[in-house]
Structure 1
Amino acid sequence: MANVNMYPKDTIENYMQEDKELAKAILEAFSKLYIYDKYLISNKPKIELENDKAFIGLNHHVGERSIVFRFAYYLQKILDERNLYTDYNLDCEYNRNGYGPKFIDSLGKNVYPDLIIHKRGSNDNNLLVMEFKTYWNDNQEDDIKKIKAFINENNGYKYKYGIAVLIGENEVNLKLINKDKSISVDDRTYK
């Protein structure tokens, strides 16, 4: 995992003190992802030869969206089973802000977060925004900028929590982004 030692350690449970049940559900969803969908994370492409030329590159992995979808599926299922956050919606790649597109002025572009928990049609009680990267595409710089904008009280979205996720082969690195723009890290191993 790249550059994880530059941030202080914390735990997601501490970060989400007011929503510890959500923090627990997130960790359980990652556990299920690594138990039931490890193939999506750790399967490396086989290089096939066609006329003595490789035609599948080394970084021809599964798409990040497939992993985010499976994580979201487990998280939604856990929230439903525990009757948690029933007045919120969990969405992936959600690009709407009311009738218009999600737009962040500081980035100068339309955005669609990988995963959000929010109330559709309102920015009053946005709860969580998550951006995901994988170990084969681990540059999180733009994701962190996007999350900082989403949790900024002045931008209109006002998400309570923002997490940049780096999916490793056997571990998850959670960058917990605070309202003051500081970042702490929670690393979890899943075998």
Structure 2
Amino acid sequence: MQTELNKVITALHEFYARETFLLEKDLGERTLTHRLAVHVESQFPGWEVDCDYDRLGDRTLRLPHGTIVSTDDHLGKSVYPDIVVHQRAIPNNLLALEVRKSGNHQPVEHDQHKLRALTDPHLWFAYWIGVFVTLGKKQVTTAEVYASGVKDEALSNWFAGRLKEAGLRAE
């Protein structure tokens, strides 16, 4: 997993180096997510990278009954991860990335719950890794890693440490 997380760090480094205009002008979260996805895509040759992708093959992603996660589709049942790294046709799900702006005052539990569900190995659409990042204007302010349906504290600490080494995180 560290290899894939290092690729995310490289993508974040490129994002912060090249997208300062967007950050300085405080553009919307979807704009930032799209531009980050462009940089993620360059790190994962042989994989497709999509934003708001809600499918596994021909099936629509749906969280288990009783979930607290709301979504933006008209029935409120589909799941739209911000960025995914996957192989559409097989299907094979590698990485789900949830992105927030530091100015977003909605509870983080929404994104955290979504990543726990998206990485749950008991569900048919499980992603191998989930990453949650909050983008500040100059650096990442929150960094968490999810695997097997839970926040992986050891990987989260490692990831945050690597971000700090790369100059992308203060603490």
Task: Using structure 1 for the length normalisation, give the TM-score.
Answer: 0.69
Q: Distance in 2 between matches of 1:63 and 1:95?
A: 21
The match for 1:151 is 119
Structure 2 unaligned residues grouped into runs of 5+: 68-75
Q: Is the 2:119–2:149 contact (alpha carbons within 8 Å) kept by the matching residues of 1?
A: no
> What secondary structure is seen at the aligned counterpart in 2 of 1:127?
strand
Q: Deviations over 1:37-81 (max 9, x none)?
A: 0121233xxxxxxxxxxxxxxxxx41111111111111212334x
The match for 1:31 is 13
Q: Is the 2:24–2:137 contact (alpha carbons within 8 Å) kept by the matching residues of 1?
A: yes
Instruction: Name which one, 1 or 2, has greater alpha-carbon Rg.
Output: 1
The partner residue of 1:103 within 62, 84, 94 is 62
Structure 1 unaligned residues grouped into runs of 5+: 1-15, 44-60, 81-85
Q: Is the 2:118–2:149 contact (alpha carbons within 8 Å) kept by the matching residues of 1?
A: no
Task: Using structure 2 for the length normalisation, give the TM-score.
Answer: 0.77
Q: Is the 2:121–2:149 contact (alpha carbons within 8 Å) kept by the matching residues of 1?
A: no
Q: 1:33: Cα distance to partner?
A: 0.9
Aligned residues: 149
Q: Distance in 2 between matches of 1:159 and 1:166?
A: 20
% same residue = 26
**1:144–1:40: structure 2 CA closer, same or farther, 3 Å change rule?**
same
The match for 1:79 is 44
The match for 1:136 is 103
Match runs of 1:41-80 below 5 Å: 41-43=23-25, 61-80=26-45
1:126 and 2:85 matched = no
